[in-house]
Structure 1
Amino acid sequence: MQHPVLLVGNDINNISRGQSWKDLLQDILTYCGTDCVQLDDKKPFPLLYEEIFLTAIRQSHIRERDLKTFIAQKIGDIMPNEVHARIRELQPAHILTTNYEYTLEGVTPEQSSSLIKERTFSIFRKYTLNGTEFWHIHGDCLNPMSINLGFEHYGGQLQQMRNYVVSGTTYSSPQAPKLPLLRRIKYGPLKEYSWLDLFFTQDIHILALSLDFVETDLWWLLTYRARQKFQRNTVPVHNTLYYYIPEEFLKASAFKLDMLRANDVQIVAISAPSKTAYYLEVLKRIAEV
């Protein structure tokens, strides 16, 4: 495929040596001084983040900006690996990522190419390097307050996403499109102002993203797109979404894959002897589409 569109999650970073997600959580607890908070896999992370932050507020009057700046510094230490480089070799037209750091870019961007400047949410958050547009859909390290971690932030992000797609934006900037995406798809003109445009117009290959159900913003987007295609049929939706998963995880992930199929996502299972080999095979398949 020439210049594909990718949605890339955090799992490719797990190939790199260094701090794990569990290590980061423990560092956050230490920074906040919240020894009474218990880490438990049963706690959805956005709510765990709220528990840590709200407990820290009561105990030490911590500022969220300071906490997110600390997190941004820690995440910024993630080292790039072979898979990041091979992704760039595909020369994607767009890379959407839930990651906050710049291992996909290969360098820290010097300047944003976003349509407007966003302080908190990430509808237009974009950097352009070597012909590829990188959309950090959950925030980025250069803007710590944009890093989407807590339940409240997820709620605000979803609100902005729904406005953009369904009812129209409320941004004061004259550059921001006022008409909702659905209306622009139906009547034109359609320009790629936001990463949200791509979900209704371009084939997207989703990899390294667990798509846990705490990702409420992405599950809403998948559901709304599918409803437009199958229920309302008010705008044309002809693009294809592909979700790549290791074959060994098919059985354990069956409940989630059923939901993805219901939401018009094609599942691509791949067998490989290692995590690196798996992602290299994924990229090979994408190049051959």
Structure 2
Amino acid sequence: MKNLVLLIGNDINNISRGQSWKDLLGDIISFCHANDTVVLDEKKPFPLLYEEIFLTASKNHRIREKDLKSFIAIKAAEIKGNGIHSAIRALRPAHILTTNYEFTLEGITPLENTSIINEKFYSIFRKYSVNDINYWHIHGDCLNPMSINLGFEHYGGQLQLMRNYVVSGTVYTSKEVPKPSLLKRIHTRQVYFHSWIDLFFTEDIHIFGLSLDFVETDLWWLLTYRARQKFHHKNVPVPNKIYYYIPNDYVPSSKYKLDLLKANDVTVISLPAPDKATYYESIVQLLGAPSQIVYHGSIS
């Protein structure tokens, strides 16, 4: 598919043997010496659970966040790629956006950051170009541990910069960063894809392997603002489409979330998933032959 744009989450990594997210969480708690003080509870949103773990460690053991995130980066870098990562690269997409910190999608650790600026903490422009594919690590990467977006405070800072970029304009000192807002630049047709955010208003995006829990406040804000522009404000044209892929078996229990996605102009495509590998292989096959999506996927 020409100009294919993907947004991919961590679930594709779960096909590989090795450390799971639950294992990583346990390692984080152990690193922070918080096993006896932090109680895991599914009702705790993860960004706030991270703050609980870090603040407990900071108060009781004077652990620095730099050291904690460096530990997390090392653990994330241990994640191994699998056949799905290779199949995705074989599609030759123009852009791959990912919430993952490691470089399994690239297949190699990039030698050079190709962003217009080097960001230490946030990820508005964070890009690596490998074999003519642009990889956007929208929640940070393990080469830059302090960029790893986990805590509530980090999500807040990321969202603030995202809204500035889209709505009010940027305040970066670098001359490389456009100062006018994305909305103004869409009006004047000056969108040069300096940021992954540009793609949400201009290119079709296929989302899979990403649960899109409501703690992902940055992505939910972006979807909501885009939909408001399309249906309410109508300040700029929003011609693109966004697709969200989900296993058939998850549809009934995810209805509350799918309703919100549909309200925000996201097309939901459900597919059979006898196992993870088969499910993701079917998505890759459909993306390789996009005309077949209507016939093999349940679209709503």
TM-score (norm 1): 0.99
The question of whether the paired residues in 1 share the 8 Å contact of 2:249 and 2:273 is answered with no
**Other-structure match for 1:247:** 248
Q: How much has 1:273 moved relative to structure 2?
A: 1.7
- What is the letter of the counterpart of residue 11 of structure 1? D
Percent same amino acid among aligned pairs? 63
Q: How far apart, in 2, do the equivalents of 1:3 and 1:199 lie? A: 13
Equivalences for 1:108-257 in 2 at 5 Å?
108-257=109-258
What is the DSSP-based 3-state SS (H/G/I as helix, E as strand, rest coil) of the residue aligned with 1:111? coil
What is the DSSP-based 3-state SS (H/G/I as helix, E as strand, rest coil) of the residue aligned with 1:253? helix
Q: How far apart, in 2, do the equivalents of 1:218 and 1:70 lie? A: 26
Q: How much has 1:2 moved relative to structure 2?
A: 2.5
Q: Deviations over 1:82-135 (max 9, x none)?
A: 100000000000000000000000000010000111000000000000110000
- What is the letter of the counterpart of residue 28 of structure 1? I
Matched, 1:12 2:12: yes
Structure 1, gaps ≥5 residues long: none
Q: Deviations over 1:184-226 (max 9, x none)?
A: 0011222111000000000000000000000000000000000
What is the DSSP-based 3-state SS (H/G/I as helix, E as strand, rest coil) of the residue aligned with 1:14? helix
The question of whether the paired residues in 2 share the 8 Å contact of 1:46 and 1:214 is answered with yes
Q: Deviations over 1:236-286 (max 9, x none)?
A: 000000000000100000000000000000000001321100001011111
Matched, 1:28 2:39: no
Q: Deviations over 1:134-154 (max 9, x none)?
A: 000000000000000000000
Q: How far apart, in 2, do the equivalents of 1:281 and 1:127 lie? A: 27
What is the DSSP-based 3-state SS (H/G/I as helix, E as strand, rest coil) of the residue aligned with 2:253? coil
The question of whether the paired residues in 2 share the 8 Å contact of 1:164 and 1:181 is answered with yes
Structure 1: 4+ residue segments shifted above 4 A = none
What is the DSSP-based 3-state SS (H/G/I as helix, E as strand, rest coil) of the residue aligned with 1:214? coil
The question of whether the paired residues in 2 share the 8 Å contact of 1:169 and 1:177 is answered with yes
Aligned residue pairs, count: 289
Q: How far apart, in 1, do the equivalents of 2:189 and 2:95 lie? A: 21
- What is the letter of the counterpart of residue 281 of structure 2? L
Q: How far apart, in 2, do the equivalents of 1:192 and 1:201 lie? A: 10
Q: How far apart, in 1, do the equivalents of 2:263 and 2:283 lie? A: 23
The question of whether the paired residues in 2 share the 8 Å contact of 1:241 and 1:266 is answered with yes
Structure 2, gaps ≥5 residues long: 291-300
The question of whether the paired residues in 2 share the 8 Å contact of 1:87 and 1:283 is answered with yes
What is the DSSP-based 3-state SS (H/G/I as helix, E as strand, rest coil) of the residue aligned with 1:252? helix
**What's the Cα RMSD here?**
0.6
Q: How much has 1:42 moved relative to structure 2?
A: 1.1
Q: How far apart, in 1, do the equivalents of 2:207 and 2:223 lie? A: 12
Q: How much has 1:3 moved relative to structure 2?
A: 3.9
Q: How far apart, in 2, do the equivalents of 1:211 and 1:262 lie? A: 15
Q: How far apart, in 1, do the equivalents of 2:46 and 2:71 lie? A: 18
TM-score (norm 2): 0.95
